[in-house]
Structure 1
Amino acid sequence: MFLDKFIEYIRFEKRYSPHTVSAYQSDMEQFLLFLNPPNTTPSVSHPSEISHHHIRNWMVELMDNKLLARSVNRKIATLRKYFKFLLQEGEITINPTSRINAPKVPKNLPTIVDSDKLTGMLDGRMDAIEDPIFTNNFKGLRDKLVIEMLFGTGMRLAEIIGIKEEDINLYEKTIKVLGKRNKQRIIPLNSELVQLLKRYTEAKKSENFHNNSVTFLVTDKGASAYPKLIYLIVQKYLSHISTQDKKSPHVLRHTFATSLLNKGADLNAIKELLGHANLSATQIYTHNSVERLKSIYKQAHPKA
């Protein structure tokens, strides 16, 4: 009963995305199952009976099962939201998560690819490969546009999936993006990307795909593009220039931001382009820049 009310609250009042709602529900069901395992006498019948000891014991079990600290933190964040809701509803008088300290998450540097190699691939400057990387048909044009857009704008996966034709202003050379928390931002487009967008738009019309979907990017058959398709495209082409395990759309977002920073772009400007809520999220890219400077120093300085 309490969980159902909470799910309705985040779905209809807070208007969380279906993916987020599903994750919250899964976390809560897992926690409640921990409190009251099947085929046992229920130990907790009301949320007011849940203490910080219960939550800490659950955290210990999660970490004993080798769950990463970042994942544990996400589950604790779900509990915080749940008990805050119950507090507002008057179902409890004490929030048991107030005495919980989340485990520390090790800071990992963003994974990027070599921007020179990436630019070389997009510009067709890969001498070691005889056949063209991007085929001369609709699919090849679409694939190239996906890589160019992710690298040229720093968009998130969900953002590029949601792009519609009316979001693109080729005259102003801008694209309107709907980011997290339904926050809109405008991203400038470089001239090469503008030309590629024009070619792709014409190709869609010639294939009679322009009226088949809601989204700007489409599949080989003209249906709306979906996350797995974008992942597969990125993995396919990044494998030509990188041997690292991680080859995702977010790697191109990281590469976009790091490239701007290395070229002297203002950190606040990068923050706005990426759609970050605060500067602390953007500052992670300064670490990559520092590591690059260290590498240059070690190679070039006689005392390194």
Structure 2
Amino acid sequence: MSRPARGTRAVHQELPPALRDAVDDFAEHLSRVRNRSAHTVRAYVTDLVSLLDHAVRMGCVDLAELDLSVLRSWLARQRTTGAARTSLARRAASARAFSAWAHRAGLLPADVGATLASPRAHRELPSVLRADQAAALVEAPTRLPPVPTSTLKTPSGATQIRATPGGPTPDATTGTAEGAAAEAVPLRDRVLLELLYATGVRISEACGLDVGDVDHGRRVIRVFGKGGRERSVPYGVPAQRALDDWLSRGRPILAGARSGDALLLGARGGRLNPTTARQIVGGYAEASGLPRTSPHGLRHTAATHLLEGGADLRAVQELLGHSSLASTQIYTHVSVERLRAAYRQAHPRA
């Protein structure tokens, strides 16, 4: 039996051996052929194990016995147990992907999931910051102490607790390694916030940037998005200034043996972790008195401001790395809703 793809858990041990093999082979296909992330592979495998467990309970001991009625029964059971529409839509997509793969692999006589319908997922309009709020957020590291994330270990091995907003500011003038690191961290935080808002990249894409991915002459960054797709995204002058400061005065302080070519570094010298990056964004938003904000919220904000400024929808799709224009069109609804809200507030006969 082939090994499960990296990033999946052995959640299918109760299935018959032939079905376990199918799960492992499908996970391997997603990981190595489709180049899906470990998170996506885990989600698909979890859905598939649930489906096959349901099929076994219905008497399907061989994969070739899987048919459309079993798939529909599985989704109906999910619905009765309270699964949300978004979850049902994702699970139906997992079932269709597995059915198509199993048919091509000769494990199913037909692609039984091709006609499987699923409820349309309800898409809530994302919340976005105003332009002045976004500016206040990206400038926060220049006027606030570093946000609390974790214990800060300087490259020398010393330990220092990160300052909290409103608390004492670390002394960056002592000439010690601790003071130097405390001076470098705000520069890192500033360039992180500037890049997220300037480019609208995903947090995983920002943390995955290498120094060589930045083209300073053309002011563009090379981004590797979902499925390993590469795209070039421009950024503006403020982000360029933040990059220059970070690369000349910040990164050399935090860089160490674990840094490699990573553009953004954690306090211990390794590549900045997306979880820490989320804490940075949320912490500065809270310390600035802004609405609760995440890196994805900054992505929504960047896209909405681009469209409100007159950018073409196709151009925004390319910048965000959306494979489908439908994913980008939600931002047109955000802009319309913001316009309606302003109209209702300002017009005397609204």
Relative to the length of structure 1, the TM-score reads: 0.88
Partners of 1:118 and 1:241 within 8 A in 2: no
Q: In structure 1, which of residues 167, 171, 174 is the aligned counterpart of residue 220 of structure 2?
A: 174
Counterpart for residue 45 of structure 2? 25
Offset, 1:121: 3.9
Q: In structure 2, which of residues 62, 66, 88 is the aligned counterpart of residue 50 of structure 1?
A: 66
Partners of 2:137 and 2:193 within 8 A in 1: no
Q: In structure 2, which of residues 194, 198, 202 is the aligned counterpart of residue 148 of structure 1?
A: 194
Aligned length: 294
Offset, 1:210: 5.9
Q: Residue 108 of structure 2 aligns to which amino acid in structure 1?
A: I
Partners of 1:173 and 1:188 within 8 A in 2: yes
Q: Residue 74 of structure 2 aligns to which amino acid in structure 1?
A: W
> Equivalent residue of 1:147, what SS?
helix
Residues 148, 62 of structure 1: CA spacing in aligned structure 2 closer, same or farther, 3 A cutoff? same
1:242 and 2:262 equivalent?
A: no
Alpha-carbon separation, structure 2, partners of 1:171 and 1:300: 44
Report 1:248-263 matches (<5 A): 248-263=294-309
Counterpart for residue 310 of structure 2? 264
Counterpart for residue 110 of structure 1? 126
Partners of 1:161 and 1:225 within 8 A in 2: yes
Report 1:66-145 matches (<5 A): 66-123=82-139, 132=144, 137-145=183-191
Alpha-carbon separation, structure 1, partners of 2:295 and 2:137: 16
Alpha-carbon separation, structure 1, partners of 2:106 and 2:201: 41
Partners of 2:220 and 2:234 within 8 A in 1: yes
Partners of 1:234 and 1:249 within 8 A in 2: yes
Q: In structure 1, which of residues 175, 178, 190 is the aligned counterpart of residue 236 of structure 2?
A: 190
Gaps of 5+ in 1: none
Alpha-carbon separation, structure 1, partners of 2:126 and 2:206: 20
Counterpart for residue 275 of structure 2? 228
Q: Residue 3 of structure 1 aligns to which amino acid in structure 2?
A: V
Q: In structure 2, which of residues 263, 267, 273 is the aligned counterpart of residue 216 of structure 1?
A: 263
Q: Residue 132 of structure 1 aligns to which amino acid in structure 2?
A: L
> Equivalent residue of 2:223, what SS?
strand
Relative to the length of structure 2, the TM-score reads: 0.77
Q: Residue 295 of structure 2 aligns to which amino acid in structure 1?
A: P
Counterpart for residue 12 of structure 1? 32
Offset, 1:269: 1.7
Alpha-carbon separation, structure 2, partners of 1:31 and 1:144: 46
Alpha-carbon separation, structure 2, partners of 1:33 and 1:125: 51
Offset, 1:125: 12
Offset, 1:78: 1.4
Offset, 1:275: 1.4
Partners of 1:73 and 1:102 within 8 A in 2: yes
Partners of 2:223 and 2:233 within 8 A in 1: yes
Give the % identical residues. Answer: 30
Alpha-carbon separation, structure 1, partners of 2:279 and 2:96: 36
Gaps of 5+ in 2: 1-20, 147-168, 170-181
Offset, 1:208: 5.0
Offset, 1:124: 5.7
> Equivalent residue of 2:113, what SS?
helix
Q: Could you say which structure has the greater relative contact order, defined with CA pairs below 8 angstroms and 6 or more residues apart?
A: 1
Alpha-carbon separation, structure 1, partners of 2:140 and 2:265: 24
Partners of 1:152 and 1:190 within 8 A in 2: yes
Q: In structure 2, which of residues 323, 327, 336 is the aligned counterpart of residue 290 of structure 1?
A: 336
Counterpart for residue 80 of structure 2? 64
